[in-house]
Amino acid sequence: MSQIVTRFAPSPTGYLHIGGARTALFSWAYARKLGGKMLLRIEDTDRERSTDAAVDAIKDGLSWLGLQWDGDAISQFARAHRHAEVAAELVAKGLAYKCYCSPEELTQMREEARAAGRAPRYNGHWRDRDATEAPDGVAPVIRIKAPQSGEIIVNDHVQGKVVFKTENLDDFIILRSDGTPTYMHAVVVDDHDMGVTHIIRGDDHLTNAARQIVIYNAMGWTVPEMAHIPLIHGPDGAKLSKRHGALGVDAYRHMGYLPEALRNYLARLGWSHDDDEIFSTDQMIEWFSLDALNKGAARFDFVKARKHQRDLYPRGRPQISVQGDGQYSGRSRTHG
């Protein structure tokens, strides 16, 4: 295979949280192991929620953790023209089309589907309509023609073979009426143009993968390898909250964690190598493989995280500030 290219693609709407840091760590370790590159793409198309402070916090967090990305960070927003160009190409090829439905028509469509016991999906109203039928003064969205029968298969390094029935996919929007791309479309165009060979990200994106494959196929592009990793839960098995440790990486830094200890602990959240608990980053890189990522949700545990640091630095340097049952109650830097 040609050079391995992974990427970390955070949305800059807050600090670098522990789940994002782990995704970045795996993407980085995989690239380092195979002499490849890890690219950083800032998914800043949501102009209302994206802030420069969050971009800085993410970059600071990655740098402090020692997860250096290759080349300059790429702004997704800056590539909007390219996203529109690919959408236009799909329309020209007859693989996507302009849809002029009003919000009221779409609501009615969903209600009719619900009443008939079907999933509330777009019904393909403009799929085969002639452009001459377009209403005046309405800016259309662009929808991709999703396959109407068959299956989309995601061969995932963590989840295995995941089959999506195409009847559950509708002709989804790739370009909004103001010409901006949807998340689904921008991610595919960027991953392709950046030469990404391996996508490692949270399993909350697994269903998106099926839709993204529709776009790859329409463009005739190779689908990257994928590894969707289970999200991190708290020690009680519940969704990770601040109390459990869903904090910005900078909060760990202020608590006194050292980057190597946090890397070691994060690596163990969802990846394993035999029974090894304490290892150096070089060992992690040497041992790392996508197929050893765990399928079960990892549990974040402050007690274990502190133990990793103590074991890596037996002379107890530096102290980690602990309060109550180990919760951190200081302020974490957020955006804005």
> What are the residue numbers of the active site?
242
Question: 111: which residues sit within 8 A by CB, 6+ positions away?
Answer: 120
Please pick, from the candidates 43, 171, 225, 250, the single residue that binds ligand GLU as defined by CB under 6 A: 43
Please pick, from the candidates 201, 233, 244, 306, the single residue that binds ligand GLU as defined by CB under 6 A: 201
Closest to ligand GLU by CB, 11 or 294? 11
300-306: Cβ within 8 A, 24+ apart: 300/18, 300/232, 300/233, 300/234, 300/235, 300/240, 300/244, 300/245, 300/246, 300/269, 301/235, 301/245, 302/244, 302/245, 302/326, 302/327, 302/328, 304/265, 304/268, 305/245, 305/257, 305/261, 305/262, 305/265
Please pick, from the candidates 4, 5, 9, 99, the single residue that binds ligand GLU as defined by CB under 6 A: 9
Please pick, from the candidates 49, 82, 205, 273, the single residue that binds ligand GLU as defined by CB under 6 A: 205
Binding footprint of ligand GLU, residue count (CB under 6 A): 7
Residue 335 makes contact with ligand GLU by CB under 6 A: no
* Alpha-carbon distances, residue 267 vs 29, 97, 177 (angstroms): 9, 44, 42
Query: What's the closest the beta carbon of residue 9 comes to ligand GLU, in angstroms?
Result: 4
Closest to ligand GLU by CB, 143 or 201? 201
Please pick, from the candidates 5, 10, 54, 240, the single residue that binds ligand GLU as defined by CB under 6 A: 10
Q: Which 8-state DSSP code applies to residue 286?
A: H
Closest to ligand GLU by CB, 125 or 205? 205
Closest to ligand GLU by CB, 187 or 232? 187
Structure tokens at 318: 């530096």
CA dist 222 and 213 (Å) reads 9
Residue 207 makes contact with ligand GLU by CB under 6 A: no
Stretch that binds ligand GLU, among 6-14, 56-64, 133-141, 165-173 (CB under 6 A): 6-14
Write out the residues near ligand GLU by the rule CB under 6 A. 9-11, 43, 187, 201, 205
